[in-house]
Amino acid sequence: MNSQSEDDPAIDVRGLNKHFGDKHVVNDLSLRANRGEILGFLGPNGSGKTTSIRMMCGLLTPDSGSGICLGYDIRRESEQIKRRVGYMTQRFSFWEDLTIRENLDFVARMYKMASRREAVDQVLEGLNLTARSTQLAGSLSGGWKQRLALAACMLHKPELLLLDEPTAGVDPKARREFWEELYALAARGISILVSTHYMDEAERCHKLAYIAYGKLMARGTAQEIIDSQGLTTWAVTGRDLPAIAAKLRGEPGVEQIAAFGSALHVTSRDATALDAALRHAMIGTSWHIEPAQTGLEDVFIHLMNTSSDNYGAR
Amino acid sequence: MDHFSFSRWWAIVLKEFLQLKRDRVTFAMIVGLPIIQLLLFGYAINSDPKHLPTAVVISEQSEFTRSYLAAMKMSGYFEFVAELPNEQAARAALAQGKVQFVVNFPTDFTRKLLRGERPALLIEVDATDPMAASAAIASVRELTASVAKKDFKGVLASLGSGAPPFDVRVHKLYNPEGLTQHNIVPGLMGVILTMTMVMMTGLAITRERERGTMENLLSMPGKPIEVITGKIVPYVFIGLIQITIILLAARYLFEVPFVGSVAVLYVVALFFIAANLMVGITLSSIAKNQLQAVQLTIFYFMPSILISGFMFPFQGMPQWAQAIGSMIPATYFMRAVRGILLKGNSWVELWPSIWPMLMFMVVVMTFAVITYRKTLD
Ligand SMILES: Nc1ncnc2c1ncn2[C@@H]1O[C@H](COP(=O)(O)OP(=O)(O)O)[C@@H](O)[C@H]1O
Ligand SMILES: [Mg+2]
């Protein structure tokens, strides 16, 4: 199955649209995810990530557009899709008044798992929760809820995982463990779509898709996305960064200024104009400038700014 | 595609049971509500009021009239507050609510009695609140028989054997339909079950939606019919517990006769419970939020109290009210319960009350399954 991943994608949706009232929440979204691949789904809050994911697993009906998920039509065959997909909701959505084991038992029964008891025991062991299996899910801390939710949505051994901001509010150590788990799953041929706000996580994905205001702005590997925008970035260091930023802002050719630790990243599509602007602004100052690698974050900030310009102009 | 899955259905049933078990407030309500309602409705309406103000209209005293009035007083139900000169005065006293009963011995009552002409003794009742009067009326019938036995000795012995040698005519004023006491408890059974069953399940789906767990439930495989029927199963048991509480109260607190079969009653109740649960879950499914669900519940509950024959005698209602009442399962259930408890009805006589309940249930269930939203749209 994995070998033919190119012509048998895990997700292949085309021209999806969704409106809520007169709000165009997902705008002509086309997206493809290969089998065994981790696809990072990025975009600012309210850009339509959750809505898109819900349409892919049949929880929302698109206003228009079509799509295939694991070979099944997202409009007509959502029953088949549901059986093969593990969906982890953005908000914890297991039953807080059921214990950990009862939640897992419920899920296993809903998927008609043959060896329910063993599967549940195994998950509890894997989570190190065997001793606390009779604790109410509502009494778990945020991080543990995430882990329970992930374990529960993988209980039925899905072929595709749709994870909606699974690591929001999870500590770094738990996040790292979580990603190790995702790699292990992907290596076993499981396809994963994961939405996130974390840049380090974005960099870990095989492929990325960036969406803003419901529109897909860029997609590909991290490097492809960076290259596609053709940005030039300089790192500016000096004594008073806010003052430098204030001075540079509005200079012709300076499109974007973002603080990165002890440096300012100044970015533009027009390398010559940026070069000229910096040289001009530097006169009589003790700033130090050097060319910098344009990073994913620079690109995303750039994409967000340009898309909001587009949005405002509409 | 696959069919109804018992495994999935059972998953829902178990989940609902567990959630119900942990929901202390709801659980307390399930047992508490019928008891509170029984006490409020049952006792407020069914209390066995004694010492009701009574007037006497009497033209001549005799040994018989004295002993009859003494027996009435002995029963504890009647308190003689006035002796009125004539029928007109009696009507006025009743109209003003000064007295609730008037005992009227017509002229020549004793003479006719001795002649064996079976004179009639008239008892007029203010039956505005029929419940208040019914026990007293019942006692009149009893004491008439016993007075006849005891008093007609000696000269009158010949009159004392067999039927009483006089008639007692009870004339109910203002509410001639007058429900009897025993109508209330069976009616209450319908009211309590309607209220609790519809209320409990009325929130079943909106709650999932508002807590966000609906998204999870919908992302799993599951058919509307599995979710809908699975969710109501625990409440069927709750309904049966409530029926038992009410029946015990009916028997031992309110002394309702149990002429018919209790087993039949449980079966009929099961249909009624299922019908109401279906209503609840349907309302829950179409409501946008919990508040709306509660409002819809009340909207359904009102006619079940007002025009089902619980509040007012069904036959006495205007045509339009009867027509609406005929579409509510509570109407049929109350009829059936009265039929079973008071008249000892069998399946044949109960069927006209049973099939509308079943039909109602099927229609509502179909509607619920069709309108159940399988997406978050
Ligand atoms: N059920 C809904 N009804 C109305 N508006 C919605 C609904 N769900 C989402 N939205 C709106 O659609 C936009 C996109 O939401 P969402 O898909 O949750 O974005 P993201 O997951 O990227 O943060 C937001 O503006 C949100 O308010
Ligand atoms: Mg979201």
Percent of chain B with pLDDT over 90: 28
Residue A310 confidence class, pLDDT cut points 50, 70, 90: low
For position B41, what pLDDT does the model report? 67
HEC sequence for chain B: CCCCCHHHHHHHHHHHHHHHHHCHHHHHHHHHHHHHHHHHHHHHHHCCCCCEEEEEEECCCCHHHHHHHHHHHHHCCEEEEEEECCHHHHHHHHHCCCCCEEEEECCCHHHHHHHCCCCEEEEEEECCCHHHHHHHHHHHHHHHHHHHHHHCCHHHHHHHCCCCCCEEEEEEECCCCCCCHHHHHHHHHHHHHHHHHHHHHHCHHHHHHHHCHHHHHHHCCCCHHHHHHHHHHHHHHHHHHHHHHHHHHHHHHCCCCCCCCHHHHHHHHHHHHHHHHHHHHHHHHHCCCHHHHHHHHHHHHHHHHHCCCCCCCHHHCCHHHHHHHCCCHHHHHHHHHHHHHHHCCCHHHHHHHHHHHHHHHHHHHHHHHHHCCCCCC
Nearest residue by C-alpha to atom 27 in ligand 1: A46
All CATH 3.40.50.300 domain ranges of chain A, comma separated, are 11-226
Between residues B147 and B209, which one has the greater pLDDT? B209
Ligand 1 contacts (CB < 6 A) are A 20, 25, 43, 45-51
Residue B89 confidence class, pLDDT cut points 50, 70, 90: confident
**Per-residue pLDDT tens for A269-306?**
888 888 888 888 878 788 888 888 888 888 888 888 88
Range B250-277 average pLDDT:
89
Contacts of residue A94 in chain B, CB cutoff 8 Å?
A: 213, 216
Range A5-32 average pLDDT:
90
Q: B15–A91: do the CB atoms touch at under 8 Å?
A: no
pLDDT at B137 over 50: yes
Among the partner-chain residues A59, A106, A136, the one whose CB lies closest to the CB of B375 is A59
Cβ pair A178, A201 in contact under 8 A? no
Q: Return the residue in B9, B15, B216 with the most chain A beta carbons within 10 A, the one to mutate for interface testing.
A: B216
Percent of chain B with pLDDT over 70: 85
Range A149-157 average pLDDT:
92
Q: Does B26 touch chain A (CB under 8 A)?
A: no
Q: B7–A112: do the CB atoms touch at under 8 Å?
A: yes
For position B177, what pLDDT does the model report? 44
Q: Does A97 touch chain B (CB under 8 A)?
A: yes
Ligand 1: distance of its center to the CA of B102 in Å? 75
pLDDT at A314 over 50: no
Q: Which residue of B has its CA nearest to A63?
A: B377
pLDDT at A111 over 60: yes
- Relative to the alpha carbon of A54, which ligand is closest? 1
Cβ pair A299, A224 in contact under 8 A? no
For position B148, what pLDDT does the model report? 67
CB atoms under 10 Å from CB of B190, counted, come to 29
Ligand 2: distance of its center to the CA of B250 in Å? 56
Contacts of residue A54 in chain B, CB cutoff 8 Å?
A: 215, 376
Residue extents of the structural domains in chain B: 52-173, 180-371
Q: Which residue of A has its CA nearest to B10?
A: A109
| A226-235, B130-139, B288-297: range with lowest mean pLDDT | B130-139
pLDDT at A142 over 60: yes
Task: Assign domain A11-226 to its CATH architecture.
Answer: 3-Layer(aba) Sandwich (3.40)
Q: A92–B376: do the CB atoms touch at under 8 Å?
A: no
Between residues A233 and A250, which one has the greater pLDDT? A233
Task: Return mean pLDDT, chain A.
Answer: 88
Range B87-94 average pLDDT:
81
Among the partner-chain residues B22, B218, B221, the one whose CB lies closest to the CB of A59 is B218
**Per-residue pLDDT tens for B159-179?**
545 566 677 777 666 444 444
**What are φ and ψ of residue B38, in 5° steps?**
-60, -45
Q: Does A77 touch chain B (CB under 8 A)?
A: no
For position B107, what pLDDT does the model report? 81
Q: Which residue of B has its CA nearest to A80?
A: B221
CA distance A171 to chain B (A): 24
**Per-residue pLDDT tens for B140-161?**
777 777 776 666 555 555 554 5
CA distance B200 to chain A (A): 17
Q: Does A311 touch chain B (CB under 8 A)?
A: no
A232-293, superfamily in CATH? Answer: RRM (RNA recognition motif) domain (3.30.70.330)
For position B176, what pLDDT does the model report? 45
Among the partner-chain residues A61, A82, A95, the one whose CB lies closest to the CB of B220 is A82
B52-173, superfamily in CATH? Answer: abc type-2 transporter like domain (3.40.1710.10)
Range A185-194 average pLDDT:
93
For position B188, what pLDDT does the model report? 84
Cα–Cα dist B134/B118, whole Å = 25
Q: B14–A105: do the CB atoms touch at under 8 Å?
A: yes
All CATH 3.30.70.330 domain ranges of chain A, comma separated, are 232-293
- Relative to the alpha carbon of A46, which ligand is closest? 1
Q: Does A91 touch chain B (CB under 8 A)?
A: yes
| A30-39, A116-125, A172-181, B71-80: range with lowest mean pLDDT | B71-80
Residue B338 confidence class, pLDDT cut points 50, 70, 90: confident
Ligand 2: distance of its center to the CA of B141 in Å? 76
For position B231, what pLDDT does the model report? 93
Max mean pLDDT among A38-52, A163-177, A270-284, B19-33 falls in A38-52
pLDDT at A22 over 80: yes
Interface contacts A/B by beta carbons within 8 Å:
75
Q: Does B50 touch chain A (CB under 8 A)?
A: no
Max mean pLDDT among B49-53, B212-216, B339-343 falls in B212-216
Max mean pLDDT among A6-10, B40-44, B177-181, B320-324 falls in B320-324
Q: B8–A98: do the CB atoms touch at under 8 Å?
A: no
| A96-100, A148-152, B65-69, B218-222: range with lowest mean pLDDT | B65-69
Q: Which residue of A has its CA nearest to B14?
A: A106
| A3-12, A186-195, A241-250, B182-191: range with lowest mean pLDDT | A3-12
Q: B212–A89: do the CB atoms touch at under 8 Å?
A: yes
Between residues B46 and B93, which one has the greater pLDDT? B93
Residue A158 confidence class, pLDDT cut points 50, 70, 90: very high
- Relative to the alpha carbon of A24, which ligand is closest? 1
CA distance A293 to chain B (A): 42
Cβ pair A266, A278 in contact under 8 A? yes
Nearest residue by C-alpha to atom 2 in ligand 1: A20
Q: Which 8-state DSSP code applies to residue A139? A: G
Among the partner-chain residues B15, B215, B220, the one whose CB lies closest to the CB of A111 is B220
Contacts of residue A85 in chain B, CB cutoff 8 Å?
A: 219
Between residues A253 and B245, which one has the greater pLDDT? B245
Q: 3-state class of A28 per DSSP? A: strand
Ligand 2: distance of its center to the CA of A53 in Å? 9
For position B279, what pLDDT does the model report? 94
Contacts of residue A95 in chain B, CB cutoff 8 Å?
A: 15, 19, 213
Among the partner-chain residues B11, B15, B215, the one whose CB lies closest to the CB of A93 is B215
CA distance B232 to chain A (A): 17
Among the partner-chain residues A60, A102, A109, the one whose CB lies closest to the CB of B8 is A109
Q: A60–B221: do the CB atoms touch at under 8 Å?
A: no
For position A313, what pLDDT does the model report? 39
Residue B122 confidence class, pLDDT cut points 50, 70, 90: confident
Q: Which residue of A has its CA nearest to B2?
A: A79
Q: B212–A93: do the CB atoms touch at under 8 Å?
A: yes
Cα–Cα dist A253/A244, whole Å = 15
Between residues B140 and A19, which one has the greater pLDDT? A19
**Per-residue pLDDT tens for A260-279?**
888 888 888 888 888 888 88
Between residues A87 and A2, which one has the greater pLDDT? A87
Range A20-44 average pLDDT:
93
Q: B377–A61: do the CB atoms touch at under 8 Å?
A: yes
Q: Return the residue in A69, A94, A109 with the most chain B beta carbons within 10 A, the one to mutate for interface testing.
A: A109
